[in-house]
Amino acid sequence: MSGIDFFKRLLGSQGPESTQSRHLVQAAPGMRTLVVDDSPTIRAVLGKMLGQEGYAVQKAVDGESALELAKAEQPELIFLDIVLPGINGFAVLRALRHDPLTRHIPIVMISGNQQATEQFYVQRFGADDFIRKPFGQRDVQQSIDQLVRAGRLPARAPTPAFTAATVTPYEELGSPLSGMAA
């Protein structure tokens, strides 16, 4: 995502191409995600949101374990809180971007801090997106949609459309009541 697109999203651009007015594209099912947050509630809620979309979720409570898991498991997407015990999210982001094993992984930073300076540094340090807490399922879906559209994540194959041709006529199935007296 370009820097301009990043800031347009943060400012809530509502133009004709806004994510509010288009169908959101999902990433491939089974996508491996890593959720890094010291709050058990955020880990549980975000993990459930991602799980409901068919993604595999791993969780880390701090920066050190996030770095270990990212290197060992190679997730396809990381949701990374900025305020963490020990190594903060900015330091984790920098470390992930400098490591050849993890530099390609899309990273979405999350924070409850309302200061615009955090958002600026997140972009400068190489994050792919930023979600402000509290967030909802739509925010998470929009972030994934943007990463898929930017080619950073593989898209989910479209499901076949439901058509009359895919339905077997009732007469061909046979009636479960056939042969029974009325």
Helix axis angle, 3-11 to 137-149, nearest 10°: 160
Measured at the CA of 119, the angle between CA 5 and CA 89, to 5 degrees, comes to: 120
Share of the chain above pLDDT 70, in %: 73
pLDDT for 162 equals 54
121-173 pLDDT tens trace: 777 788 999 999 999 999 999 999 999 999 999 999 876 655 555 555 544 55
Domain residue ranges of the chain, discontinuous segments joined by +: 3-173
Give residues with Cβ within 8 angstroms of 69, minimum separation 6.
Answer: 34, 58, 60, 75
2.60.40.10, 3.40.50.2300, 3.40.390.10, 2.40.37.10: CATH of 3-173: 3.40.50.2300
pLDDT for 9 equals 47
Residue 113: pLDDT band (50, 70, 90) is confident
Residue 17: pLDDT band (50, 70, 90) is very low
Q: Which residues pair with 108 in a beta bridge?
A: 79, 129
Better-predicted residue by pLDDT, 118 or 95: 95
Question: Taking the model in full, what pTM does it have?
Answer: 0.76
pLDDT for 1 equals 47
